[in-house]
């Protein structure tokens, strides 16, 4: 029996070594697979015409132009937040657009969005640009005006305030840059 013991131990070591290596290999493979599955490839950028189609489906710009007398185009829209709390617009208007017309334009854009998506968004922000000053991406340019439509005009109440009919919401318009 003394001759059989070393062989038995040696065979068991080889078997356990193989199974240990196999386990380690499977664990590394599983982790690698999880990491690769978790990595998301960057989505290709949206072409400008796709963004224009999305905007066109959200808001009837011709109707708003007829009601306000302001020719405009929405360059981009975006909804952010856990439950789409925030709605953003980047709007381009002709030079020399009066403050009152800009305010009316923003009210109509917000109103049209609320009609299309009732009780959805908790805040609205519009970044307004003059056509001649808009060069490149809107995110890289400075808007001449910014409008917010918030519950009681307060950012801290966004998402904590009822949005049934937006009756307690206030529009605030600020002109951080120069006004024409």
Concatenated DSSP letters of 98-112? -HHHHHHHHHHHHHH
Residues 156, 154: Cα–Cα separation, whole Å: 5
- The band of 49, judged by pLDDT with boundaries at 50, 70 and 90, is very low
φ, ψ of residue 149 to 5 degrees: the values are -125, 105
Predicted pLDDT at 2? 53
Predicted pLDDT at 89? 94
Task: Lowest mean pLDDT of 4-8, 64-68, 101-105, 123-127, name the range.
Answer: 4-8
- Give 35-46 pLDDT, tens digit per residue: 555 544 444 444
Stronger pLDDT, 70 or 6, i.e. the higher one: 70
Stronger pLDDT, 84 or 92, i.e. the higher one: 92
Question: Which strands form 123-130's sheet, in the order they lie side by side?
Answer: 73-80, 86-93, 123-130, 145-151, 169-174
Residues 78, 127: Cα–Cα separation, whole Å: 12
Stronger pLDDT, 119 or 93, i.e. the higher one: 93
Percent of the chain with pLDDT over 70: 68
Percent of the chain with pLDDT over 90: 33
Residue 105 has pLDDT above 80, yes or no: yes
126 CB-contact burial (10 Å; exposed 0-12 / middle 13-18 / buried 19+): buried
């Amino acid at each position: 029996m003394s001759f059989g013991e070393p062989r038995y131990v040696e065979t068991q070591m080889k078997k356990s070594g193989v199974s240990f290596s196999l386990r380690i290999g499977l664990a590394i493979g599983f982790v690698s697979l999880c990491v690769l599955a978790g990595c998301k490839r960057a989505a290709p950028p949206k072409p400008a015409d796709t963004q224009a189609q999305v905007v066109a489906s959200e808001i009837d710009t011709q109707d708003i132009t007829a009601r306000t007398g302001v020719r405009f185009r929405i360059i981009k829209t975006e909804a952010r937040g856990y439950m789409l709390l925030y709605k953003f617009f980047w709007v381009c208007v002709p030079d020399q657009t009066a403050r009152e017309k800009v305010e009316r334009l923003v009210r109509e854009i917000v109103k049209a969005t609320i009609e299309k998506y009732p009780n959805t968004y908790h805040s609205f922000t519009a970044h307004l640009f003059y056509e001649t000053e808009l060069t490149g991406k809107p995110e890289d340019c400075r808007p001449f005006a910014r409008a917010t439509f918030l519950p009681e005009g307060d950012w801290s109440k966004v998402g904590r305030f009822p949005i049934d009919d937006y009756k307690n919401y206030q529009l605030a318009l600020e002109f951080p840059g120069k006004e024409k």
